[in-house]
C-alpha cells in the first residue's frame, strides 16, 4: 500500500495533534482540572493515529483507553475539544459531562465505549453484524491493549466474528504491560497474532512505533473487511514509557520499573522517527514542521479555553432525561 | 380468539414483531430449536440472518445486542435461562442499562433480553433463579414478568418496541398455561399493573408464577377472606399507584415473591408502601419469599420456594 | 568436537503478507518445537555444546523446557533488542567462537542479516518465514542430524557446504548491506510494513540467480527465457514498458504478470549504479534502504557469499559417523 504526500503529512499532523493533546491532558489532570483519570499515551500514540486516520467517516471505531483514545479520535476526524470538555465534566462535553472518559461522536462512527475492558470484543460483533446488514461497506475497528486481550470476551467475540465473517479489524496495541503486570506474567506467548491465527483469522505483526507501517497494515485489513472477507488482527508492537495512569506507581510485577530500560524504549519515539524520514524524503520542510506544531498548540489552547469556559454539568434534571429513551 | 399456550403466545409475539420490523432480529444459542419452544419455527420463517443461532457465548450474544442496538437495530437476545445472565452480567446489568445515560442520553438501546426464569421444576440452583432484584438494582433496565399467555404476548410486543433495554423473564412453570388470545394485534404497555381479583380485606401483590399461586389462594379463601390480587406485570417501571390504591382500600398487604427474601423485591415494595401509605396500613405487611438458601435440586425445592400453604397462612395472619 | 550455533528469529513469519498474500502466521511455540527436535538429533550425535542466540520471545529457552538432553547449552551474553541487528551480532560472535555451523530459523530476511557477519561459517537454514528461497523446507530432526555430522566431524565449509552468491549494496565505495536472493528497486518512500508485494512500484530487480522454484520478485528471473548455462547466474531486470511480460509468484498465492523492459546476465564483480532516486531498496523481500536524491548507490554480485550445508552430503557423512560410533560402543 502506498500513501500520497498529502496522506503522509496528514499522518504527521494528526500525530503531532495527538501528542499535543496528551501533554495538555496530563497538565490539566495535574492542575486538578480533570474530573476523571488520565492514562498517558505519549510514545505509544503512533498506533492509534495510524489506525484511524484513513478510515471512512461512517466506519465504526472503538478507541483505545490509553491516552483515552485521543490519537484514535483525532485520526478519525472528530473535534477533540468536546472530548476534552467531557474530561472536565462540562455540559458541552461529547457526553454532556456525564461520561467523562466516555466518548460519543455518532456521525464519526464513535458510538460509545465501556470503561470495563474487553467490551470492544463483543460489542464489535454487534457493530459488525449491523454493518454487514447495512451493506454499505462499513468497517468496524476495535482498538485495545495486551491486557484487555486476556479477557474471555476476546474468545467469545473473535470466535463469532470469524464464523459470521464480520467486517471487523482488531488492532492490538501491545505495549507489554497491562496496568502493573508484564506480558510475561500474563501470557505463555509473546505474539498475540498467534491467538487470532488459531481462529483462522489473518493476523499480522507490525512495528507500532512506525506510523506508516500501522497505517499500511490496518489499511490492508480494512480493505479485506470492506470486500467482505471477514475480520483481521493487527498487532502493533508499541511501548509504554509512563506509569499506568498519571500519578499511579511506575511499577511492574511488584517492582519499580527499570528506568534504564525505559530510557532505551524512549529511543523508539515515533514522532521524531517519522519526522526524520519525512525530512529525508523531502516530503516536509522544517518550516512545515514548525507550522504544524504551532497549529496544534493553538488548537489545544483553544480546546482548553473552550472546556474551561463551558459550564460545569450540574443540571440534575438530565438524570431522568438520560436514563430512559421516551 | 384461539386458545394459545404461554410459550406459543411468546412465539407469536416474536413472529409478529420480526415480520413487522426488519430491524428486529433474534439471536441466541439454540434459537433454531428452542429448548422451551419459544422461538421454534422462526428460523424457517425468517431465515438465519434474522434468527441467528450462536455458540454458547452469552457475552457475545449480549455484547452483539448492544452493538447492533447502537446502530439502529432492535435485537432480541435469548439467554435461555435467566440464571445465565451472570455470564454476561457486564452487558446485561452494567453496559446496556448505562450506555445511553453515560453517553449523554443521545442514543437509545432497544434490546430485549429474553430468558425463562423461576423454579418449581426441580432443576436445581443454577436453572431456577428469579434474578429480578439484581436487575432492579441497576437503573436503566426494564423488567417484565408476565403471568399469563395474554400478557406474555402483549408485554413482549411492547418490550420489543420499547427504545430501552428490557429484561423479559417468562416463567418456566407457566409454559403449559392456556388462554384465549385475540386474533387481532394488541399491546400491553409496560408499567401497568393488573387487578386480577377484586377484594376488600387484603391486597396480595404477586407477579409471574407467584401471581398464579396467589389467584389460587384467593379462590380458595372465597367466602372466608376477600382477597384483592394485583399483578404488577412489570417491576420496572412499577405501577405503584395501582398497588397503593388497593392498599388504601384493604389496609393489609401480603407480597409474594419467588426471589430470595433477603434484599429482594418484596422487601423493596414493603418499604415503598410504608413510605407512601404507612397510615393506611392496619397490620404489618407480610411477605412470602424464597427462603435464604440456594434453591435445592429435586424434592427439597419445596422447602425453599414459596408454597401455596405459606401464602394462605400469610393472608390469614395479616387479616387477623 | 565443535559446537553448533542456533539463531532463531522470533519475528519471522508474521508480516503483512498474511493479509495480502495468504501467508500463515508462524507461531513461535512451533519454532521452539522445531528447535526441540534439532536438539534431540544433535544430542543423539553426542554433540556437547550448543550456542544459542537469546531472543525476545525466548525460543531457545522454550525449546529446552522439559527437554531431556545431555548436551550443554550456552546463551550468548548479548543485549537483545528485538531487532535485525540481534541476529547479525549473534552470527558474528558465533563465527568468532568457531562454531561448526549455524542453524537458522527464519525466512530469507533472517538469513540475510546472519550472512552479513557469519563469514565462512556454514549455515543450515530452516525455513520458518514467508518467502523462502534461501532457507530449506526441512524437518528439524533432519537439520539436527546434518548439523550434528558437521560438528562431530569438524567439517569445513568447503568440504560440506555449497557457496552461495550474494548481492552487495554499496554507498559510493562503502559496503552497506547484502542480499542473498534479490534486490528490488521501487518507488516506495517508506519502509512501512517492509514486505514488498506491489509489482506496480518496481523499477528494477537484481538477482543472485534465476533458478526455477523461487517465490518473490526473484521468481521473475526464472520466468524469463535464458540459456541453461545462464540459469545459475545473476541477473538484472528492468521492469515496465517493453513487449515482454512474464507470470511470476511474487508472494505466496500472488501470481502477477510483470512487464519486462529488458534483462541481462549480471556479471560478478561488476558494479551497477541505481539510477532511480528517490527510491527504496527491498533486500530479499523487505524494504530496507531508502535512497535520497543525491546518494550514489550501486549493486555488485559477489560469488563468495555464505556457505550453506549440503544436506544430502552431510547426511551421508552422518550415516558413516553413526556406524563408526556404534562399532566403537560395541568394543567398549
Q: Does residue C106 share a domain with residue C236?
A: no
**Which cell is B105 given?**
442520553
Q: Could you read off the pLDDT of A171-199 as tens digits, one per residue? A: 999 999 999 999 999 998 888 999 999 99
Mean pLDDT for chain C overall: 92
CATH code, C24 = 3.40.50.10330
Which is the catalytic residue, given B8, B17, B29, B58?
B58
The per-residue pLDDT for B94 is 97
**Terminal C-alpha separation, chain B:** 43
- pLDDT of B45 > 50? The answer is yes
Q: Are C305 and C234 in contact (CB under 8 A)?
A: no
Residues of chain A neighbouring C15 (CB-CB closer than 8 A): 204-206
Three-state DSSP state, C81: coil
Of the two residues C327 and A264, the one the predictor is more confident about is: A264
- Kindly determine whether residue A204 and residue C10, on different chains, have CB atoms separated by under 8 Å: no
Higher-confidence position of B42 and C228: B42
- pLDDT tens digit sequence for B75-114: 999 999 999 999 999 999 999 999 999 999 999 999 999 9
CB contacts of A104 in chain B (<8 Å) are 103-104, 106-107
Q: Would the pLDDT of C131 be above 80?
A: no
For residue range C276-313, what is the model confidence (pLDDT) as tens digits?
888 999 999 999 999 988 889 999 999 999 999 999 99
Classify each residue of C46-64 as buried b or exposed e, where b means 16 or more C-beta atoms within 10 Å of its C-beta: ebebbbbbbbbbbbbebbb
Per-residue pLDDT tens over the stretch A158-178: 999 999 999 999 999 999 999
Residues of B in contact with A126 (CB under 8 A): 63-71, 73, 75
pLDDT single digits (tens) A301-326: 999 999 999 999 999 999 999 999 98
Residues of chain B with C-beta less than 8 angstroms from the C-beta of A118: 90
Mean pLDDT computed over B33-45: 96
pLDDT at C328 over 80: no
- Same domain as C151, residue C178: no
The pLDDT value given to residue A39: 92
Put simply, whether B26 touches A (Cβ < 8 Å) is no
Distances in whole angstroms, Cα of residue B19 to Cα of each of A91, B51, B149, C110: 41, 12, 20, 59
Active site residue B132: no
A5-323 is classed in which CATH architecture? 3-Layer(aba) Sandwich (3.40)
On whether both C147 and C236 belong to a single domain, the answer is no
- Whether B127 is catalytic: yes
Place of cell 497549529: A295
Side by side, which strands form the sheet with C297-302? C174-179, C166-171, C297-302, C272-273
Paired sense of beta strands B74-81 and B24-28, if any: parallel
- Whether C111 and C252 map to the same domain: the answer is no
8 Å CB contact between C287 and A213: no
Mutation site, A78, A153, A325, A326, interface B, largest B CB count within 10 A:
A325
Q: What is the pLDDT of residues C149-180, one digit of tens each?
A: 999 999 998 999 999 999 999 999 999 999 99
Residue B306: predicted pLDDT: 98
Same domain, C108 and C179: no
Q: Which three three-digit cell numbers place residue B71? A: 446502530
Provide the β-strand partners of residue C249: C255
Q: What is the pLDDT of residue A189?
A: 86
pLDDT per residue as tens digits for the range C77-108 = 998 888 889 999 999 999 999 999 999 999 99
C33/A contact by beta carbon, under 8 A:
no
The verdict on B54 touching A (C-beta cutoff 8 Å) is yes
C with A: touching (≥3 Cβ pairs within 8 Å): yes
Domains by residue range for chain B, with CATH? 2-181 (3.40.50.970), 194-319 (3.40.50.920)
Between CA A290 and CA A295 the distance in angstroms is 9
- Nearest-CA distance A86 → chain B (Å): 10
C-alpha cell at C193: 510494513
Please tell me the predicted confidence (pLDDT) of residue C229.
77
| Total of domains in chain C | 2
pLDDT bin (cut points 50, 70, 90) of residue C332 is very low
Residue of C nearest to A264 (CA): C81
> Counting beta carbons within 10 angstroms of the beta carbon of residue C124, is it exposed (0 to 12), middle (13 to 18) or buried (19 or more)?
buried
Query: Are C13 and C157 within one domain?
Result: yes
Q: Indicate if the pLDDT at residue C330 is higher than 70.
A: no
A126·B75 Cβ contact <8 A: yes
Q: What is the mean pLDDT of residues C245-269?
A: 94
- pLDDT exceeds cutoff 90 at B171: yes
Range of the domain at C194: 166-302
Whole-number pLDDT of residue C326: 79
- B22–chain A Cβ distance below 8 A for any pair: no
> In 3D, which of A120, A67, A129, C220 has the Cα closest to residue B59?
A120
Which of B72, B105, B237 is the best residue to mutate to test the A interface, defined by the most A CB atoms within 10 Å of its own CB? B105
Q: Are residues C191 and C274 in the same domain?
A: yes
C98 and C11 together in one domain: yes
Domain of C283, CATH number, reads 2.60.200
What are φ and ψ of residue B51, in 5° steps? Answer: -125, 95
Do residues C113 and C173 share a domain? Answer: no
DSSP conformation class of A16: H
CA–CA gap between residue B189 and residue B158 (Å, rounded): 6
Can you give the pLDDT at residue A130?
98
How far apart, in whole angstroms, are the C-alpha atoms of residue B277 and residue A313? 36
| Cβ atoms A232, C34 nearer than 8 A | no
Q: How far is the alpha carbon of A259 from chain C, nearest alpha carbon, in Å? A: 16
Q: Which residues pair with C5 in a beta bridge?
A: C51, C102
Cell numbers 450506555: residue: B99
The A-side interface with B (CB below 8 A) comprises 60, 93-99, 102, 104, 106, 111-112, 114, 116, 118-119, 121-131, 133-134, 152-153, 156-157, 159-160, 163, 318, 321-326
C154 touches C1 (CB < 8 A): yes
Q: Do chains A and B touch (3 or more CB pairs under 8 A)?
A: yes
ipTM: 0.96
Based on the domain organization, do C145 and C178 belong to the same domain?
Answer: no
**Interface mutation vs chain A, best among B67, B75, B91, B234, most A CBs within 10 Å:** B67
Residue C15 shares a structural domain with residue C157: yes
Q: Which of residues 42-81 of C touch A (CB under 8 A)?
A: 56-57
The one catalytic residue among B17, B29, B127, B258:
B127
**CA distance linking residue A80 with residue A45, whole number of Å:** 15
Residues C159 and C17 in one domain: yes
Which whole-number Å values give the CA distances from B126 to B116, B146, B209, in the listed order?
Answer: 12, 21, 18
| Cα separation, A311 vs A320, whole angstroms | 20
Q: What is chain A's mean pLDDT, rounded? A: 95
Amino acid at each position: 500500500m502506498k500513501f500520497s504526500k498529502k496522506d503522509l503529512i496528514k499522518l504527521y499532523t494528526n500525530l503531532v495533534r495527538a501528542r499535543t493533546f496528551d501533554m495538555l491532558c496530563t497538565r490539566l489532570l495535574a492542575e486538578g482540572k480533570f474530573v476523571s483519570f488520565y492514562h498517558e499515551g505519549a510514545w505509544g500514540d503512533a498506533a492509534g493515529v495510524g489506525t484511524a486516520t484513513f478510515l471512512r467517516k461512517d466506519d465504526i471505531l472503538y478507541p483505545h483507553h490509553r491516552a483515552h483514545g485521543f490519537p484514535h479520535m483525532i485520526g478519525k476526524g472528530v473535534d477533540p475539544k468536546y472530548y476534552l470538555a467531557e474530561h472536565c465534566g462540562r455540559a458541552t462535553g461529547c457526553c454532556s459531562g456525564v461520561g467523562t472518559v466516555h466518548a460519543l461522536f455518532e456521525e464519526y462512527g464513535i458510538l460509545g465505549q465501556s470503561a470495563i475492558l474487553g467490551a470492544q470484543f463483543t460489542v464489535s460483533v454487534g457493530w459488525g453484524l449491523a454493518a454487514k446488514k447495512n451493506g454499505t461497506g462499513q468497517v468496524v475497528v476495535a482498538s485495545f491493549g495486551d491486557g484487555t486481550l486476556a479477557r474471555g470476551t476476546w474468545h467469545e467475540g473473535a470466535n463469532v466474528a470469524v464464523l459470521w465473517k464480520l467486517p471487523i479489524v482488531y488492532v492490538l496495541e501491545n505495549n507489554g504491560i497491562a496496568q502493573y503486570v508484564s506480558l510475561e506474567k500474563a501470557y505463555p506467548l509473546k505474539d498475540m497474532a498467534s491467538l487470532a491465527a488459531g481462529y483462522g483469522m489473518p493476523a499480522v505483526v507490525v512495528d507500532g512505533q512506525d506510523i506508516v507501517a500501522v497505517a499500511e497494515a490496518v489499511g490492508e485489513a480494512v480493505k479485506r473487511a470492506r470486500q467482505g472477507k471477514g475480520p483481521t488482527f493487527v498487532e502493533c508492537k508499541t511501548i509504554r514509557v509512563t506509569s499506568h495512569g498519571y500519578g499511579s506507581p511506575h511499577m511492574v510485577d511488584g517492582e519499580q520499573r527499570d528506568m534504564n530500560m525505559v530510557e532505551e524504549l524512549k529511543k523508539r519515539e515515533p514522532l521524531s522517527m517519522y519526522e526524520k524520514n519525512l525530512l529525508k524524503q523531502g516530503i516536509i520542510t522544517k518550516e512545515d514542521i514548525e507550522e504544524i506544531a504551532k497549529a496544534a498548540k493553538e488548537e489545544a489552547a483553544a480546546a482548553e479555553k473552550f472546556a474551561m469556559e463551558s459550564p460545569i454539568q450540574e443540571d440534575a434534571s438530565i438524570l431522568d432525561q438520560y436514563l430512559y429513551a421516551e | 380468539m384461539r386458545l394459545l399456550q404461554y410459550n406459543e403466545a411468546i412465539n407469536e409475539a416474536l413472529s409478529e414483531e420480526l415480520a413487522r420490523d426488519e430491524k428486529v432480529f433474534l439471536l441466541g444459542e439454540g434459537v433454531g430449536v428452542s429448548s422451551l419452544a419459544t422461538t421454534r419455527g422462526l428460523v424457517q420463517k425468517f431465515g438465519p440472518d434474522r434468527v441467528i443461532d450462536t455458540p454458547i457465548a452469552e457475552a457475545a450474544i449480549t455484547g452483539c445486542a448492544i452493538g447492533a442496538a447502537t446502530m439502529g437495530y432492535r435485537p432480541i437476545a435469548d439467554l435461555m435461562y435467566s440464571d445465565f445472565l451472570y455470564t454476561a452480567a457486564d452487558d446485561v446489568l452494567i453496559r446496556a442499562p448505562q450506555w445511553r445515560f453515560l453517553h449523554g442520553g443521545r442514543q437509545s438501546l432497544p434490546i430485549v433480553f429474553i430468558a425463562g426464569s423461576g423454579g418449581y421444576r426441580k432443576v436445581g440452583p443454577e436453572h431456577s433463579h428469579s434474578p429480578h432484584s439484581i436487575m432492579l438494582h441497576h437503573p436503566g433496565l426494564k423488567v417484565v414478568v408476565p403471568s399469563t399467555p395474554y400478557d406474555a404476548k402483549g408485554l413482549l410486543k411492547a418490550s420489543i418496541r420499547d427504545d430501552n433495554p428490557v429484561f423479559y423473564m417468562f416463567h418456566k412453570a407457566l409454559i403449559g398455561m392456556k388462554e384465549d388470545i385475540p386474533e387481532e394485534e394488541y399491546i400491553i404497555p409496560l408499567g401497568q399493573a393488573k387487578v386480577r381479583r377484586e377484594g376488600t380485606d387484603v391486597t396480595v401483590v404477586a407477579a409471574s408464577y407467584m401471581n398464579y399461586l396467589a389467584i389460587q389462594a384467593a379462590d380458595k379463601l372465597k367466602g372466608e377472606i376477600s382477597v384483592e390480587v394485583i399483578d404488577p406485570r412489570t417491576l420496572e417501571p412499577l405501577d405503584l399507584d395501582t398497588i397503593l390504591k388497593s392498599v388504601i382500600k384493604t389496609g393489609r398487604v401480603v407480597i409474594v415473591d419467588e426471589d430470595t427474601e433477603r434484599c429482594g423485591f418484596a422487601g423493596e415494595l414493603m418499604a415503598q408502601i410504608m413510605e407512601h401509605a404507612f397510615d393506611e396500613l392496619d397490620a404489618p405487611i407480610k411477605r412470602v419469599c424464597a427462603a435464604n438458601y440456594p434453591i435445592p435440586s429435586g424434592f427439597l425445592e419445596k422447602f425453599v420456594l414459596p408454597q401455596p400453604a405459606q401464602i394462605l397462612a400469610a393472608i390469614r395472619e395479616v387479616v387477623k | 568436537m565443535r559446537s553448533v550455533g542456533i539463531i532463531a528469529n522470533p519475528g519471522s513469519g508474521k508480516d503483512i503478507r498474511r493479509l495480502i498474500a495468504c501467508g500463515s502466521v508462524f507461531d513461535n511455540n512451533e519454532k521452539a518445537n522445531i528447535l526441540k527436535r534439532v536438539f534431540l538429533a544433535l544430542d543423539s550425535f553426542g554433540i556437547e555444546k550448543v550456542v544459542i542466540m537469546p531472543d525476545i520471545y525466548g525460543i531457545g529457552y522454550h525449546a529446552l523446557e522439559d527437554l531431556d538432553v545431555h548436551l550443554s547449552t550456552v546463551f550468548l551474553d548479548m543485549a537483545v533488542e528485538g531487532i535485525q541487528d540481534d541476529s547479525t551480532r549473534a552470527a558474528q560472535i558465533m563465527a568468532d567462537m568457531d562454531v561448526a555451523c549455524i542453524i537458522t530459523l527464519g525466512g530469507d530476511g533472517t538469513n540475510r542479516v546472519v550472512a552479513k557477519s557469519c563469514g565462512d561459517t556454514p549455515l543450515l537454514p530452516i525455513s520458518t518465514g514467508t518467502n523462502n528461497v534461501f532457507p530449506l523446507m526441512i524437518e528439524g530432526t533432519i537439520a539436527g542430524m546434518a548439523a550434528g555430522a558437521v560438528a562431530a566431524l569438524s567439517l569445513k565449509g568447503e568440504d560440506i557446504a555449497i557457496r552461495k552468491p550474494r548481492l552487495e549494496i554499496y554507498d559510493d565505495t562503502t559496503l552497506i548491506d547484502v542480499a542473498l536472493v534479490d534486490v528490488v528497486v521501487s518507488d516506495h518512500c517508506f519502509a512501512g510494513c517492509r514486505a514488498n508485494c506491489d509489482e506496480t512500484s518496481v523499477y528494477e530487480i537484481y538477482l543472485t540467480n534465476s533458478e526455477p522454484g523461487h517465490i518473490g520478485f526473484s521468481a521473475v528471473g526464472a520466468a524469463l527465457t535464458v540459456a541453461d548455462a545462464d540459469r545459475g547466474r545473476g541477473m538484472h531486470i528492468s521492469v515496465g514498458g517493453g513487449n515482454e511480460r512474464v507470470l511470476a509468484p511474487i508472494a505466496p498465492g500472488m501470481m502477477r504478470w510483470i512487464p519486462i523492459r529488458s534483462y541481462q546476465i549480471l556479471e560478478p564483480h561488476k558494479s551497477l549504479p541505481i539510477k532511480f532516486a528517490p527510491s527504496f531498496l527491498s533486500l530479499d523481500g523487505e524494504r530496507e534502504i531508502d535512497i535520497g536524491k543525491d546518494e550514489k548507490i550501486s549493486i555488485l554480485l559477489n560469488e563468495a557469499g555464505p556457505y550453506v550445508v549440503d544436506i544430502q552430503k552431510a547426511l551421508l557423512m552422518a550415516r558413516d559417523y553413526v556406524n563408526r560410533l556404534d562399532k566403537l560402543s560395541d568394543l567398549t
